[in-house]
Chains A and B, each alone.
Chain A
Amino acid sequence: MSVSESATLSRSRTRSLLARLEGPQTMGRGPGFWGGAALAVAAAAAYPLMADAWTVGNAAYFLIWTFMAMGLGVVWGYAGALSFGQTAFFGLAGYAYGVITLNLGAAYGLTLLALVLAVAIGGLFALVIGYFMFYGRIQGVFIGIVTLSVTLVLETFMAQTAGPQWRIGEARLNGFNGMSGMPPLTLPWIGGDIVLYPGPSLYYLLLGLVVVCYLGLRIMLNSPFGNVLVAIRENPHRVGMLGYDVRLYQTLAFAIGGAFAALSGALYTAWGQYITPSSMGLTSAALPIVWVAVGGRRDITATLIGTIVVLAGFQSLTIYGSQYALVVMGALLLLTVLVAPQGLIIGAMTLLGRIFKSRKS
């Protein structure tokens, strides 16, 4: 192959990848949608200019959770397997980030390595759990039960690691109180590392990550792989009878979802410089399901928007007491199930789409 030929080939590959940003598995297409998306990102990018550092750090906190939500969207909304235990991968990666950074330190951008390793550990753990579940023919509601058990077992285990014997290198696990004091993310830079404390710099990094992950997921979901995932959700038996190894696809989707939860977990630890076993507890495990269900699980855009909106609402309610906020979350979930089972944001987006169409015609 000549150089120009291979250049054409890679260009056409890039083009076909970009074409997958739109497709039947994701809502939103055309200049209107992408213009709106660009505006939303621009507004989000301008936000730190208008708010104080503390508020911006708080907004960064919302962004952290969107990865776990999008991952759950892939597993539950697209592949049809309701995981109740995404927090297992979240927590494992959160602890992994702590253990690795407390041992390696924060110099030379080693925190970024810790982030990558933590995501890999969480994703690998999800791959193993997924393998045993799907190859063990566990289906339907039992997936929820198994995954919930996994996260609760991890929580219970971590809660009893208070003794001094529970240490990995320099890092004490600290039982119920959890780990703290690990370094935040640092970017190696000429003339001194940039430390990403909660504030504008971390916010921009997270915003960039959200955009990249969101676009990457859109491409994946509209690819042949995504096609097979939604087909499995609709009729796994038929998918097998088209020659696909259904268990393999389910396991891979689960691992991807787990890696996204792990990304949230590692970022969460880096953001607040602490992680506790309760991050894997029942309440924590239930919340991602609420965000994804309320926004809409069958569309990645709805999941993303829904999660941010619900989180922001939750945060403003927590001022009045966290128990109260949880009750409202429960009520919101109930309302969604009763009024718009496909999700409030999806419902709104479908409605908007219809209005647009009828205007045009």
Chain B
Amino acid sequence: MTDILKVQGLRKAFGGVVVANGIDFSLSAGTMHCLIGPNGAGKSSFFRLLLGEHAPDAGTITFDGSDITGLRSFQRIRRGISVKFQVPGIFKALSVRQNLEVAFQDHLHGQSLGATIREMLDFTDLRGNETTPAGILSHGQQQWLEIAMAVGVEPKLLLLDEPTAGMSPDETRKTGEMLHDLNSRGITILAVEHDMAFVEQIARRVTVLHFGSIFASGTIAEIIDHPGVQEIYLGTADA
């Protein structure tokens, strides 16, 4: 299988804080992969490096066969990387429909835009909320809206930073189904997640990040049984 994403020797420090300490990481096209690690491990920073919001001190990022290390964020998005942030990044004052329009209008026009927006409203269970300002949706609905928006740029790789944070178990399960649906449409998914049940629901392979380095990588069973991982992460996960 080809790698859609290949990261080599990625390094970034903010003063004394090393958020990425020589990360080597690759992701096969079409997979769903989870990134876990304790608070402050550098997971969100890793995403920001992938997205070009931070310039790395060293290392390269190869996406879909080409080096994107020097590209600006919006150019990386145009190449096919999309993201849902840890804190919902929606347009709170705009209606749900407008949020989706901004996300989809670059690729779709006229009737196909309208049809896709209807499809996305169904997909996110937001039918009937088209004219609602996005900011007054429930937290879970905002997360779904942002996932739908992230799909609008027709990504090959979807980055999700804690997509189920603050969701009820029901909403979490539904989110897992949504991600399986997106994955079956050919979108590779890399998700940061704390909820191990959810990790099991969506991913077969997991990477553990700790102090900006890859601490372990393997199948879910391997990671759960890994004594070091239990120590640094799982032991404190319920805290």
Chain A residues with CB under 8 Å of B91's CB are 230-231, 234-235, 238
Identify which of residues 110-160 in chain A touch chain B, using a CB-to-CB cut-off of 8 Å: none
Any A CB within 8 A of the CB of B74 = yes
Contact at B98–A240, with CB atoms within 8 Å? no
Identify which of residues 81-136 in chain B touch chain A, using a CB-to-CB cut-off of 8 Å: 82-83, 85, 89-95, 97-98, 101-103, 105-106, 110
Interface residues on B, range: 20 to 34
Any A CB within 8 A of the CB of B153 = yes
Of A16, A224, A246, the residue contacting B74 (CB under 8 A) is A246
Cα(A234)–Cα(B85), bound, Å: 16
CB distance from A50 to the nearest CB of B (A): 43
Cα(A235)–Cα(B91), bound, Å: 6
Any B CB within 8 A of the CB of A243 = yes
Known contacts: A240-B74, A244-B74. The answer to whether A24 contacts B95 by CB under 8 A is yes
Any B CB within 8 A of the CB of A17 = no
Chain B residues with CB under 8 Å of A239's CB are 102
Main secondary structure of the interface of A (DSSP, over half): helix
Contact at B92–A242, with CB atoms within 8 Å? no
Contact at B110–A16, with CB atoms within 8 Å? yes
Known contacts: A235-B90, A238-B91, A245-B74. The answer to whether A228 contacts B153 by CB under 8 A is no
Any A CB within 8 A of the CB of B226 = no
CB distance from B219 to the nearest CB of A (A): 31
Cα(A28)–Cα(B86), bound, Å: 37
Any B CB within 8 A of the CB of A11 = no
Closest to B99 in A: A231
Cα(A68)–Cα(B231), bound, Å: 64
Cα(A235)–Cα(B89), bound, Å: 8
Which residue among A231, A234, A238, A242 has the maximum number of chain B CB atoms within 10 Å of its CB?
A242
Contact at B93–A234, with CB atoms within 8 Å? yes
Of B93, B94, B106, B110, the residue contacting A244 (CB under 8 A) is B106
Cα(A230)–Cα(B134), bound, Å: 14
- Give a binary string over A203-243; 1 marks a CB under 8 Å from any B CB, 0 the rest: 00000000000000000000010011011001101111111
Chain A residues with CB under 8 Å of B44's CB are none
Chain A residues with CB under 8 Å of B204's CB are none
Known contacts: A234-B93, A235-B90, A237-B89. The answer to whether A242 contacts B98 by CB under 8 A is no
Closest to A243 in B: B77
Known contacts: A242-B152, A243-B106, A244-B74. The answer to whether A227 contacts B89 by CB under 8 A is no
Chain A residues with CB under 8 Å of B95's CB are 24
Any A CB within 8 A of the CB of B78 = yes
- Give a binary string over B67-83; 1 marks a CB under 8 Å from any A CB, 0 the rest: 00000111001100011
Contact at A242–B90, with CB atoms within 8 Å? no
Known contacts: A228-B102, A242-B103, A243-B153. The answer to whether A234 contacts B94 by CB under 8 A is yes
Any A CB within 8 A of the CB of B149 = yes
Contact at A241–B51, with CB atoms within 8 Å? yes
CB distance from B94 to the nearest CB of A (A): 6
Chain A residues with CB under 8 Å of B90's CB are 235, 238
Identify which of residues 236-275 in chain A touch chain B, using a CB-to-CB cut-off of 8 Å: 237-246
Contact at B98–A24, with CB atoms within 8 Å? yes
Cα(A237)–Cα(B95), bound, Å: 18
Cα(A230)–Cα(B102), bound, Å: 10
Chain B residues with CB under 8 Å of A235's CB are 89-92
Identify which of residues 151-195 in chain B touch chain A, using a CB-to-CB cut-off of 8 Å: 152-153
Closest to B146 in A: A238
Cα(A63)–Cα(B20), bound, Å: 59
Chain B residues with CB under 8 Å of A24's CB are 94-95, 97-98
Cα(A231)–Cα(B98), bound, Å: 9
Q: Which 3 A-B pairs have the closest CB atoms?
A: A243-B77, A234-B91, A238-B89
Where the two chains meet, the residues of B that have a C-beta atom closer than 8 Å to any C-beta of A are: 51, 72-74, 77-78, 82-83, 85, 89-95, 97-98, 101-103, 105-106, 110, 149, 152-153
Instruction: Give 6 A-B pairs besides A231-B102, A242-B103, A242-B106 with Cβ atoms closer than 8 angstroms.
Output: A227-B98, A234-B94, A235-B92, A238-B90, A242-B149, A242-B152
